[in-house]
């Protein structure tokens, strides 16, 4: 499949419900699109609140000491060498804070290894497996549960981007990974040459692709749309040009795409683009009817 043909096929996959990618001047992480990233955001918020509380308490203590025990207010300095209560407090307080942080931390770590901990009605039999292999400098995706559907995913060069608005520079690829919404995906990651790293911020994913070692994690996309990530391990001269694009579609759209992708990948993407456009028109019509009814 040539880059031009790929760009044309992927160009039809525009107007998605959501496109998650880096934005200028962003402070917080991208909006969560998976249960794990939701847990990461809540954990990050809790840590931030704890950090601010500690800083304010320490600042208040410094201000109190500066005012209460300066030379003018306290001309005769105390000769106290130690205080048992203070020693106990400043030893126990950090220990309790760290214990409080460790509880949600371990909960998050366990959930990253076992979807049954946070996915309601989790059924291992309905889990699909995708193997991502990092190469210099592109990704190969293999759908192990679907008769070995496999393809390379390479960054689109500027000359191949047919729709610059919906194909972001340095992030758009010729062949996106397609997954169904609401499905647990078992992701296996390995490197074919050097160490790479599969990172997808909206899903809370970051897993090293190490040659000779098959690492594994999972994700569940909660919303349809297209999500962008990048290789996050320095892997050579073109490390910055190794993006990851995952498109989340309905289960019906996925089944149609994967069945056709076995024989004709470009045609599968074109059919998927048409299905997405049709659903978008139907949703817009339904919204218009609902508004008119009001």
- Specify whether 153 is located in the same domain as 265: yes
Task: Report the candidate in 56, 29, 57 with the shortest Cα–Cα distance to residue 43.
Answer: 29
* pLDDT at 285 (0 to 100): 59
Is the pLDDT confidence value at 17 over 50?
Answer: no
Domain count, the chain: 2
C-beta of residue 231 within 8 angstroms of C-beta of residue 197:
yes
Top pLDDT among 290 and 199 is at: 199
For residue 267, the enclosing domain spans 3-20+124-291
CATH number of 202's domain? 2.60.40.420
* pLDDT at 211 (0 to 100): 97
Identify the weakest region by mean pLDDT among 60-64, 88-92, 145-149.
Answer: 145-149
Q: Quick one: pLDDT band at residue 15, thresholds 50, 70, 90?
A: very low
The overall average pLDDT reported for the chain is 89
Give just the sign of the alpha carbon dihedral 234, 242, 1, 214: positive
Residue 228 pairs in a beta bridge with 245
Residue 28 lies in a domain: no
Top pLDDT among 266 and 147 is at: 266
Top pLDDT among 247 and 82 is at: 247
DSSP 46-95: HHHHHHHHHHHHHHHHHHHHHHHTSTTT-SS-------HHHHHHHHHHHH
Q: What is the mean pLDDT of residues 259-272?
A: 93
Residue 249 lies in a domain: yes
* pLDDT at 118 (0 to 100): 92
Task: Report the candidate in 178, 133, 173, 129 with the shortest Cα–Cα distance to residue 154.
Answer: 173
- Specify whether 95 is located in the same domain as 236: no
Task: Report the candidate in 132, 226, 152, 221 with the shortest Cα–Cα distance to residue 185.
Answer: 221
Residue 177 lies in a domain: yes
Top pLDDT among 281 and 209 is at: 209
* pLDDT at 81 (0 to 100): 82
Those residues with Cβ within 8 angstroms of residue 220's Cβ, 6 or more apart along the chain or in another chain: 34, 35, 115, 119, 182, 183, 184, 185
Q: Quick one: pLDDT band at residue 16, thresholds 50, 70, 90?
A: very low
Mind listing the pLDDT tens digit for each residue in 145-191? 998 799 999 999 999 998 888 899 999 999 999 999 999 999 999 99
- Specify whether 111 is located in the same domain as 129: no
- Specify whether 210 is located in the same domain as 285: yes
Is the pLDDT confidence value at 293 over 70?
Answer: no
Identify the weakest region by mean pLDDT among 15-29, 119-133, 162-176.
Answer: 15-29
Q: Quick one: pLDDT band at residue 7, thresholds 50, 70, 90?
A: low
C-beta of residue 196 within 8 angstroms of C-beta of residue 208:
yes
Q: Cα(282)–Cα(232) distance, rounded to whole angstroms?
A: 39
- Specify whether 265 is located in the same domain as 137: yes
- Cβ–Cβ contacts within 10 Å for residue 83, how many? 10
- Specify whether 163 is located in the same domain as 249: yes
- 0.75 exceeded by the pTM? yes
Is the pLDDT confidence value at 88 over 50?
Answer: yes
- Specify whether 104 is located in the same domain as 249: no
Q: Cα(200)–Cα(202) distance, rounded to whole angstroms?
A: 6
Residue 106 lies in a domain: yes
- Specify whether 205 is located in the same domain as 69: no
- Specify whether 171 is located in the same domain as 112: no
Residue 25 lies in a domain: no
């Amino acid at each position: 499949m040539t880059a031009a043909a790929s760009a044309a096929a992927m160009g039809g996959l525009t107007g998605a419900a959501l496109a998650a990618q880096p934005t200028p001047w962003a402070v917080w992480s991208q909006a969560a699109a998976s249960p794990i990233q939701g847990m990461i955001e809540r954990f990050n918020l809790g840590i931030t609140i704890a950090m601010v509380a500690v800083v304010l308490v320490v600042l208040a203590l410094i201000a109190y000491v500066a005012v209460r025990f300066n030379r003018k207010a306290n001309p005769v300095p105390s000769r106290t060498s130690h205080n048992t209560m203070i020693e106990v407090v400043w030893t126990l307080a950090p220990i309790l804070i760290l214990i409080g942080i460790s509880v949600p931390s371990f909960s998050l770590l366990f959930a990253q290894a076992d979807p049954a901990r946070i996915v309601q009605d989790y059924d291992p039999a309905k889990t699909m497996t995708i193997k991502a292999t990092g190469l210099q400098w592109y990704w190969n995706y293999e759908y192990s549960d679907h008769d070995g559907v496999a393809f390379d995913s390479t960054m689109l060069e500027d000359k191949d981007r047919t729709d610059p608005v919906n194909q972001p520079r340095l992030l758009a690829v010729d062949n996106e990974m397609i997954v169904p919404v609401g499905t647990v995906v078992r992701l296996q990651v390995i490197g074919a040459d050097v160490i790479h790293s599969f990172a997808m911020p909206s899903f809370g994913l970051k897993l090293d692709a190490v040659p000779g070692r098959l690492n594994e994690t999972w994700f569940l996309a909660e919303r349809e749309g297209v999500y962008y990530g990048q290789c996050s391990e320095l892997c050579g001269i073109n490390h910055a040009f190794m993006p990851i694009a995952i498109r989340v579609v309905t289960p019906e759209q996925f089944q149609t795409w994967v069945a056709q992708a076995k024989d004709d990948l470009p045609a599968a993407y074109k059919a998927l683009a048409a299905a997405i456009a049709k659903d978008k028109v139907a949703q817009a019509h339904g919204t218009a009817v609902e508004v008119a009814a009001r």
